[in-house]
Structure 1
Amino acid sequence: MDPYEGFREFVRGRQRSLMRTAYLLTGDAPQAEDLLQTVLMRAARHWRRLADGNPEAYVRRALVNEHTSWRRRRRAETPTAHPPDVGPGRDPGDQSLTRMALQRALMRLTPRQRAVLVLRYYEDRSVEETADLLGCSQGTVKSQTSHALGRLRTLAPELAELLHDVDPEEVPR
């Protein structure tokens, strides 16, 4: 019996989404690739156990944890001034400036704040799912979201239009 049965299909089906998450966490395409590869290698070793549960949730939580671990070891952030090339068929116009401003602002947040925003708003996860993935309480997710959005408003006032749609009932002020 193949110990990796189902793993290859999982990676093929989820790789793009997981890579986007890794990129949003790191802000650097090569670092994101390294982060995802590291996490997937660990997941492959434990695939038999993971396959019966929710492997995607495990991998996403591992991405956040591993990125945080890397940051603690390095103690230095290396944001990139140049985001990766946009793919074919994408509009590189006005949206590019917004994406670049958002990327720069995200890189100035703490790893935990960035992870909360990526999971909540980019991946459209609920407060409960985000808390579960990060291994913290729902209250922590809400407060980290509030702090992170406030910091984004300060760091990048040009993103006010993006940030005004946040439901005030969901995030305490």
Structure 2
Amino acid sequence: MRERQAIRQRRRAREFEAFVAGAAGRLLHASTLLTAEPADDNPRARRLLTAALARTYADWDRLRGEDPYDRTRQELAARFARGAWHYRQHGGGVLERLTPQERLVLVLRLYEGVAEEQTAALLGLPAERVRAICTRATAAMRSGPRAPAGPAREAATP
């Protein structure tokens, strides 16, 4: 009995390690985009991903055909959304000028390719709201850097 359990645990660990080896890089990048940290200095993103992966590992035997990447991405998004107030500080990341909600929608929709309806269901928002947030976030990213405030801006306009 114990031997079978040990074999099952080793197989589970190998399967999970293989999953992490293939998916961790992309998930870390998504987590880094969410936290708006620089790619080379992202401790909050790493903690967020570690917690999501730990949850996936805990549920590994119950996945039963469910995509572990999708499950981990859902957990990552949920953890970020629950603790989004932690991520309001700007860290120099590419999406730093967006709000946490805008970052979450943009990462899920554009970087991860999650359908609008799935994103809406995951976040508990209407699909129209997800569409509006994504449109606003995309426009903000396309608009370029924000103009400086104060005297420098006034001097630039005749």
TM-score by length of 2: 0.70
Name the SS of the counterpart of 1:109 in structure 2: coil
Question: In structure 1, which of residues 22, 34, 39 is the aligned counterpart of residue 31 of structure 2?
Answer: 22
- Cα distance in structure 1, aligned partners of 2:21 and 2:107: 22
The answer to whether the 8 Å contact 1:36/1:63 transfers is yes
1:8-47 mapped onto 2 (5 Å cutoff): 8-28=17-37, 29-47=42-60
Which one of 70, 75, 80 corresponds to residue 91 of structure 2?
80
1:153 Cα deviation (Å)?
Answer: 5.1
User: For this pair of structures, how many residues does the alignment match?
Assistant: 134
2:67 counterpart residue number: 54
Percent identical pairs in the alignment equals 31
Structure 2 matches for 1:136-147, cutoff 5 A? 136-147=125-136
How many angstroms apart in 2 are the aligned matches of 1:157 and 1:110? Answer: 14
Partner of 2:16: 7
Equivalents in 2 of 1:128, 1:71: separation in Å? Answer: 21
Q: Distance in 2 between matches of 1:130 and 1:116?
A: 7
Q: Do the aligned partners of residues 132 and 55 (structure 1) sit closer, same or farther apart at CA in structure 2, a change above 3 Å counting?
A: farther
- Separation of aligned partners in 2, 1:128 and 1:137: 8
What's the secondary structure of 1:80's corresponding residue? coil
Distance 2:141 2:22 in 1: 32
CA contact (8 A) 1:114 1:148 kept: yes
Distance in 1, matches of 2:21 and 2:130, equals 30
Q: 1:116 aligns with which of 91, 105, 109?
A: 105
The answer on 1:127 being equivalent to 2:138 is no
User: Residues 138 and 71 from structure 1, CA distance in 2 versus in 1: closer, same or farther, beyond 3 angstroms?
Assistant: closer
- 2:152: which partner in 1? none
Q: Which residue of 2 aligns with 1:70?
A: 83
Q: What are the superposed Cα offsets for residues 41-76 of structure 1, whole Å, 9 maximum, x if unpaired?
A: 11111111125212211111111111122233x4x6
Deviation at 1:18, TM superposition (A): 0.4
Distance in 1, matches of 2:88 and 2:81, equals: 11
For structure 2, which runs of at least 5 residues remain unmatched after alignment?
1-7, 148-158
Q: Which has the larger radius of gyration?
A: 2
For 1:5 and 1:36, locate their aligned partners in 2 and report how far apart those are by CA, in whole Å. Answer: 19
- Summarize the Cα distance change of 1:133–1:123 in structure 2 as closer, same or farther, 3 Å threshold: same
Question: One-letter code of the match for 2:88?
Answer: E
C-alpha RMSD over aligned residues: 2.5
C-alpha deviation, 1:114, in angstroms:
0.8
Distance 1:137 1:6 in 2: 36
